[in-house]
Structure 1
Amino acid sequence: MRVPDLGMLAGQLMRALQEELFETLAEQGHPDVSPRHGTVLAFLDPKGVRATDLAARSGQHKQIVGTILDELVRLGYVTREPDPADRRAKLIVPTERGIDEITKARAILAAIEERHERTLGAGRYAGFREMLQQVTRDQRAWRQVGATTAWQAPMA
Structure 2
Amino acid sequence: MSSVPPGFELPLRLFMGFRVLIDALHAELARRGHPDLRPMHGFVMQAVGRQGTTAVELGRTLGVSKQAAGKTIDALERLGYLARTPDPSDSRRKLVTLTPRGVDALTLSARVFDDLRREWSDKLGEETLRSLESALRHLTPTAFPLDAPGWFGSL
SS at match of 1:130: helix
Task: Read off the aligned partner of 1:67 and give its amino acid letter.
Answer: K
Instruction: Please list, as runs of the form range in 1=range in 2, the aligned pairs for 1:7-156 lying within 5 A after superposition.
Output: 7-137=11-141
SS at match of 2:47: coil
Aligned Cα root-mean-square deviation (Å)? 2.7
C-alpha distance in structure 2 between counterparts of 1:116 and 1:59, whole Å = 31
What TM-score comes out, normalization by structure 1 length? 0.73
Structure 2: runs of 5+ lacking an equivalent: 145-155
Structure with larger Rg: 1
SS at match of 1:42: helix
User: Bigger CA drift: 30-39 or 17-26?
Assistant: 30-39
C-alpha distance in structure 2 between counterparts of 1:67 and 1:58, whole Å = 13
Query: Percent identity among equivalent residues?
Result: 32
CA apart distance, 1:119: 3.6
Deviations 1:70-89 (A, max 9, x none): 11011111001122122222
User: Bigger CA drift: 5-14 or 58-67?
Assistant: 58-67
Q: Which runs of 4+ in 1 moved over 6 A?
A: none
Structure 1: runs of 5+ lacking an equivalent: 141-156
User: Bigger CA drift: 23-32 or 118-127?
Assistant: 118-127
C-alpha distance in structure 1 between counterparts of 2:60 and 2:41, whole Å = 15
CA apart distance, 1:60: 4.2
**How many residue pairs end up in the alignment?**
139
What TM-score comes out, normalization by structure 2 length? 0.74
CA apart distance, 1:117: 3.0
User: Bigger CA drift: 41-50 or 54-63?
Assistant: 54-63
Deviations 1:17-38 (A, max 9, x none): 1210111001000111111312
Counterparts in 2 of 1:123 and 1:55: CA distance versus 1, 3 Å: farther
CA apart distance, 1:56: 4.1
- Aligned partners of 1:80 and 1:92 also within 8 Å: yes
C-alpha distance in structure 1 between counterparts of 2:132 and 2:28, whole Å = 25
